[in-house]
Amino acid sequence: MKTALITGANKSIGFETARQLLRQGYYLYLGCRDIEKGREAVKLLQAENLNQVEPVEIDVDDINSIQAAREVVGNKTNVLDVLINNAGVSGSMPQAPLDTEISLFRHVFETNFFGVITVTQAFVDLLKESPEPRIVNVTSGLGSLTLHNDPEWHYYKVKPTVYVSSKAALNAYTIVLAYELRDTAFKVNAVDPGYTATDFNNHTGPGTIPEAAARVVKAATLGVDGLTGQFFSDDNAPDTGISPW
């Protein structure tokens, strides 16, 4: 049975991604910064007869919490097949580049960028034990630098500086990590779930959570012929599914 860890999985896209992987027979470590919320989320899944799941407390802003989670998971399994770095924050708005407090940049980068790196480094040894390890970094279409420079782009005027910078940095980490692991069985990709109605944006997005999660699941379950080092985005690239960085 394949195993997966998802951060920020107590609700929204992370939770639905867990549900869809459970339906495919994966064993799920449901990463949640509040273990009580994690237990509640597990109960919801079990009510659907999805039982191969347990909550793991992990606050990606806190290295001690990440290390404790690594120990918990390591006591249960020697192999992790899938890591989904989903936990993310937008930071308060507006985010004008000249007026936004540096403390907000630090806060958002802590979760969206440093958190991903710390979690990945903590769990990579378990992933290396898998014959087909997959790392999915949940990014945003707003992380594309190329498109931010294209006046024809649908979201050209949408430029929340802090969030954009954090996801662009995450994209940079993703492509370099994929390069580092290019001669291995790893597939390392960034996935834009699309603008989706969740708590993240006060439910303003046009996309649905199941659609968003399906995009993440697709990258998490890539076969041996699947691509690595890509920025998957159906929103940015409806034809190819691959966004410019």
Residues forming the site for ligand NAP (CB under 6 A): 7-8, 10-14, 33-34, 37, 59-61, 86-89, 111, 138, 140, 192-193, 195-196, 198-201, 205
Shortest distance, CB of residue 183 to ligand NAP, whole angstroms? 29
Is residue 238 reached through a cis peptide bond, with omega within 30 degrees of 0 on the bond before it?
no
Q: C-beta of 34: minimal distance to ligand NAP in Å?
A: 5
Least Å distance, CB 138 to ligand NAP, is 4
End-to-end CA distance of the chain: 34
- For ligand NAP, the closer CB: 10 or 161: 10
Phi, psi of 224 (to 5 degrees): -65, -25
Whole-number Cα distances in Å, 95 to 133, 159, 163, 240: 36, 8, 8, 31
| Residue 64 identity (one-letter amino acid) | N
Which CB sits closer to ligand NAP, 132 or 211? 211
Q: How far is the CB of 48 from ligand NAP (least distance, A)?
A: 19
Q: Which residue has the tokens 């249960």?
A: 76
* SS3 of residue 153 by DSSP: coil
Q: Min. distance of Cβ 207 from ligand NAP in angstroms?
A: 7
C-alpha to C-alpha distance for 159 and 98, rounded to whole angstroms: 13
**Which SS3 state, helix, strand or coil, does residue 30 take?**
strand
Output the residue with the shortest Cβ distance to ligand NAP. Answer: 88
- Of residues 158 and 184, the one with the C-beta less far from ligand NAP: 158
